[in-house]
Amino acid sequence: MTNRSYLGEFELMILLVVVHLGEEAYGVPISRELEGNRGRSVSIGSVYAALERLETKGLVISNLADPTPERGGKSKRYFQITKEGLRQVHETRQVLTRMWQALPELKLDLR
Amino acid sequence: MKRSEPPPIAAWMLEHCTAGDFDEALAGDLCESYSSGLSDGWYWRQVFAACAVSWSESLRARMPLFVFALIWSMMAPAWKVFTDGIESAPIFDRILPYFGPVWIFPAAAGWLLLNSIFLWTGICVFILFSSNFRETIRGKVLRRPFLLASLIFLPIYGATFLGVNLYWYSFFPNAGFATTPLGQIADLRMLADVIRMPYFIALLCALWGAIPRSIRRTQLRLVDSPPTESSTEFDVLKFVSTLDSYTVKRCFGLMVSAGLINAMIAGILLCRLVELHSPTFAPLFIRAILYVIIGLLAGVVGSWLYWKNPSSLFRKHLPIPFPLFALVCASGWIWVAPMTIFSEQLSPVSAFVAVIGAIFLAVGLRNATFSVLAPAAPEAPIYESEQAELFSQSLYRAPGESHGYVITFLLYAGFCALAIRLNLAAAALFALCAFLFVWRQTFLPTHSIDRNHEYRRAALRLAYVAIPAVLVTAWALLDGVAHRNRVAAMNAAASAGSRSSTSDGAHQKAKSDSSAYGLGGYESLILWPVPEKKQIVPPLPEISLLAPGTTQPLIIPFNGQYWYMQPPNKNPGPTAHLAHGTPLGAEIASINSMPLVMDAHQTLGAAIPIARCREIQIEIENRDNRKGAIALAALLTDTASHKGTSLYLGRQPIVSTEPEHFSFKSGSVFETLHFLVPASAKMRKFDEITVMMLPDVEHALVGPKIAIKQFQLFPR
């Protein structure tokens, strides 16, 4: 039995956004990207909380950059996905794809 | 207009109300988003969400600690019974008396040690069984919970039992523990739970800070990214160069203003005049030094507070070191104390002192911030006559000097304020004017100056300026005392003039020399009955009360003095103003915030034995139309005894002054108050009756219009 926890929905989204943003992945663009994709506002505090959980699990790493005046002299914290993070994203994707493919075609009434 | 910085209270909350360490990156992200045009409401929502998320994460991370503290504190009642057994051992009864009156200290130390052992054992167990915790804490971090647990246990224990005794006192007299240890651990009744509470809280508090929310904070490193450049030391000047000149100047201006405002508040609150009527120079000089230091320190603290506020742009990286900034500004702040003292005397010198302070501040600040702010030396017009035709360049456009108009306006406004005696406003306007002028005209160095040299210059400037500042402060204090004496003398003269018909001229000089003038220029006042109504009462026929079978009361019409004083005086003193009159007609009031004390004193012709007097009735005439209850207290004194023994007869309310009986009086209301005289063992006779007026707050500052008519002494 593997001692490994699965990614939650929000954590998976954040990992995907971090991969998508590449070297520009810090709090503000991550939140904006999430808001754009989810269609609803996201608290930056909750994004950081999730990122910290991911970092504790070793799925992302972070570094502080130089402070800038538009940030009130405070530093940016850039996030990067680790190899383990990338592996888990792929694995989750494969699991989800298999599960979706196993489902019968859904007829959604979107009216 | 939208602010460029986020709401300061929300920024403060983000820094101080989140669990764990302050997340600089989160604060920076919020600040960046806010400055891109989002609203204050958005910022507040984000702050609240960040606080809630951080606390929930923090609690989630400490859930094992909660469970452990709960389980461990379950054993507290059993431990309590065990330690009670140790504390009641006979050996302690033999040892503690050796410590004499300080036995409480070793007893408390022993009690604390016993309880600390329980807590320390709990901490050890938790560390052993918590693998994450064991991996992340080392050395000093490990010692902290042990120390903290012992330190906080006693106050938590005290607070718990204080609260419980206040609200559930009735429960405890009959409460007790189970007899077996297992029963004590499983006991869920109130007493056991109360015992557990301080242990539970102490364990939580001790281990709370030792558990990091996550390990990432210690692993963060500074990089120069996003484009992965090499990591460099943060360059303050580079950071400042990215800001516009206005922002930098405004930040400096606000820091200086915060220091000035703080220094002024301290000056107004703390810089008081000497109480002495004619002080010598030594205490005055010492006080002047103290006030200058107060101004300086208050200025430094004010600037520091602004510099450290969460929305401050320079909070992390001040373009010049704060000690240098404080040293430079100190040469201006030390003038605040004399300025406030002069302004309290309505002296125009306050404006002059403010100007001096502003000049020193501007010179120092201009030089110190030279490396940060762009030089603002007047630009000389460039003539190109050599290359151009004659007269072709003569009509050059002079550079705009808007500050010149501002300086002129400030000058005019300052003089206007001075003309209408708004000295403080005039001082502010002139100071600003001087500051602007000097700022523009200061010659700046042509090359950058060594930082050590800047420190030396600022310290030297402060040393040179401090001496005249102390002397000016001493002058301000001297002038203040003289001003106060003048005002007091004028008040005394005015009061004397208004009472010339009834005043005793022989005492005019004496009272004007007094240093405390609460009663319209007098330090105290004695009111005699008007001469024509004065009756000379022959010595009391003592025999009338002593004669066996006498039932008739002895009637003594009041012909004594009314004393008006202010605490802490208990008698009028040798400089009291004497006047003839009655409280019914005299308007006597305190002209300061000190309450007024009014007594009526009746000296008897001969001593009356206490044993022969059963009751004293005091008849009064009330013409007071001010609302508020007044009571009378009576005191019998034996002035012949060397100690001046007194017997207090208690207090009786004047019914006509009570709210339910109060009515506006067009004439006098007469009332009789009864005071029973106990047979006193400590006093055998009395020869003076004192009646004290005990007014409520409505009458605290005015003498009540109540006169004593007569005393009736009933034989026992």
Complex confidence, ipTM:
0.87
Report d(CA B547, CA B553) in Å as an integer: 12
- Residue B401, min C-alpha distance to chain A (Å): 30
Within chain B, which residue ranges are assigned CATH 2.60.120?
A: 525-715
Q: Higher-confidence residue: B237 or B403?
A: B403
Using DSSP, state whether B424 is helix, strand or coil.
Answer: helix
pLDDT one-digit tens code per residue, A60-82 = 999 888 777 777 778 889 999 99
Tell me which of A41, A51, A54, A75 to substitute to probe the interface with B (most B C-beta atoms closer than 10 Å): A75
Confidence class for position B287, pLDDT limits 50, 70, 90:
confident
Report d(CA A93, CA A87) in Å as an integer: 10
Report d(CA B442, CA B224) in Å as an integer: 39
Query: In the structure encoding, which two tokens stand for residue B692, read together?
Result: 């004290």
pLDDT one-digit tens code per residue, B397-434 = 555 667 788 888 888 888 888 887 777 888 888 888 88
Report d(CA B708, CA B689) in Å as an integer: 11
Confidence class for position B546, pLDDT limits 50, 70, 90:
low
Cβ atoms within 10 Å of B655's Cβ, excluding its own: 14
H/E element holding B256?
Answer: helix B245-270
- Residue A85, min C-alpha distance to chain B (Å): 16
Report d(CA B554, CA B390) in Å as an integer: 119
Q: Are B216 and A26 an interchain contact pair (Cβ–Cβ within 8 Å)?
A: no
Residue with tokens 């918590």: B130
CB B677 within 8 A of CB B512: no
The alpha-carbon radius of gyration of chain A (Å, integer) is 16
Q: Where are the domains of chain A?
A: 9-101
**Cα angle for residues A10, A11, A14 (degrees, 5° grid):** 90
Mean pLDDT, rounded, for B254-279: 82
Q: Are B46 and A43 an interchain contact pair (Cβ–Cβ within 8 Å)?
A: yes
**Which letter does DSSP use for residue B516 in this model?**
-
Produce one character per residue of B371-401: b if its CB has 16 or more CB atoms within 10 Å, e if not.
ebbeebeeeeeeeeeeeeeeeeeeeeeeeee
pLDDT over 70, % of chain B: 74
Residue A15 has pLDDT above 90, yes or no: yes
pLDDT one-digit tens code per residue, B84-109 = 888 777 777 777 777 777 777 888 88
Report d(CA B20, CA B17) in Å as an integer: 9
Supply the pLDDT for residue B199: 92
Nearest alpha-carbon partner for B73 in B170, B172, B175, B160: B160
Q: Are B222 and A62 an interchain contact pair (Cβ–Cβ within 8 Å)?
A: no
Q: Higher-confidence residue: B579 or B690?
A: B690
Confidence class for position B313, pLDDT limits 50, 70, 90:
low
Residue with tokens 């167990």: B125
Residue B567 has pLDDT above 50, yes or no: yes
Cβ atoms within 10 Å of A88's Cβ, excluding its own: 23
B52 part of contact set with chain A, CB < 8 Å: yes
- Residue A98, min C-alpha distance to chain B (Å): 33
Residues of chain A in contact with residue B29, where contact means CB-CB under 8 angstroms, are 26-28, 31, 44, 71, 76
Report d(CA B145, CA B153) in Å as an integer: 12
Reported as half-sphere exposure (CB side, CA atoms, 13 A), residue B399 has a value of: 9
Supply the pLDDT for residue B424: 80
pLDDT one-digit tens code per residue, B146-158 = 888 888 898 899 8
Q: Higher-confidence residue: B440 or B291?
A: B291
Reported as half-sphere exposure (CB side, CA atoms, 13 A), residue B180 has a value of: 3
What lies within 8 Å, CB to CB, of B293 at 6+ separation is none
Nearest 5°: phi and psi at B607? -75, 140
CB A32 within 8 A of CB A47: no
Contacts with A, B 55-84, CB within 8 Å: 57
Q: Does domain B525-715 have CATH number 2.60.120?
A: yes
Q: Are A44 and B50 an interchain contact pair (Cβ–Cβ within 8 Å)?
A: yes
Tell me which of B55, B225, B315, B316 to substitute to probe the interface with A (most A C-beta atoms closer than 10 Å): B225
Residues of chain B in contact with residue A75, where contact means CB-CB under 8 angstroms, are 24-25, 28, 222
Supply the pLDDT for residue B505: 42
A8 part of contact set with chain B, CB < 8 Å: no
Chain A, nearest residue to B53 by Cα: A46
Supply the pLDDT for residue B401: 67
Residue B234 has pLDDT above 50, yes or no: no
H/E element holding B200?
Answer: helix B190-208
Supply the pLDDT for residue A79: 93
**Which stretches does DSSP call E strand in B96-236?**
none
Average pLDDT, chain B: 77
Supply the pLDDT for residue B513: 41
Report d(CA B702, CA B519) in Å as an integer: 9
- Residue B24, min C-alpha distance to chain A (Å): 6
Nearest alpha-carbon partner for B600 in B638, B637, B654, B562: B562
Supply the pLDDT for residue A14: 93
CB B11 within 8 A of CB B310: yes
Supply the pLDDT for residue B384: 46
Report d(CA B250, CA B248) in Å as an integer: 5
Chain B, nearest residue to A45 by Cα: B50
A63 part of contact set with chain B, CB < 8 Å: yes
Q: Does domain A9-101 have CATH number 1.10.10.10?
A: yes
